[in-house]
Chain A
Amino acid sequence: ILNVEQSPQSLHVQEGDSTNFTCSFPSSNFYALHWYRWETAKSPEALFVMTLNGDEKKKGRISATLNTKEGYSYLYIKGSQPEDSATYLCAFRSGGSNYKLTFGKGTLLTVNP
Chain B
Amino acid sequence: GAGVSQSPRYKVAKRGQDVALRCDPISGHVSLFWYQQALGQGPEFLTYFQNEAQLDKSGLPSDRFFAERPEGSVSTLKIQRTQQEDSAVYLCASSLGLNNEQFFGPGTRLTVL
- Give chain B residues whose Cβ lies under 8 Å from the Cβ of A36: 104
- A–B complex contacts, Cβ < 8 Å, 28 sampled: A34-B101, A36-B104, A41-B9, A42-B106, A43-B4, A43-B104, A43-B105, A43-B107, A44-B104, A46-B101, A46-B102, A46-B103, A89-B43, A91-B42, A91-B43, A98-B99, A99-B33, A99-B56, A99-B98, A99-B99, A100-B45, A100-B48, A101-B33, A101-B45, A103-B35, A103-B43, A103-B44, A105-B40
Cβ of B91 within 8 Å of any chain A Cβ, yes or no, is: yes
User: A residues bordering B, Cβ < 8 Å?
Assistant: 4, 6, 34, 36, 41-44, 46, 49, 89, 91, 97-106
| Chain B residues with a Cβ closer than 8 Å to the other chain, count | 24
The A-B contact count (CB < 8 A) is 51
- Give chain B residues whose Cβ lies under 8 Å from the Cβ of A102: 45
**Of all chain B residues, which has the CB nearest A45?**
B104
- Give chain A residues whose Cβ lies under 8 Å from the Cβ of B31: 99
Helix, strand, loop or mixed for chain B's interface? Answer: loop
B100 to chain A, nearest CB (A): 9
User: B residues bordering A, Cβ < 8 Å?
Assistant: 3-4, 9, 31, 33, 35, 40-45, 48, 56, 91, 98-99, 101-107
- Give chain B residues whose Cβ lies under 8 Å from the Cβ of A41: 9, 106
Complex Cα distance A105/B45, Å?
A: 13
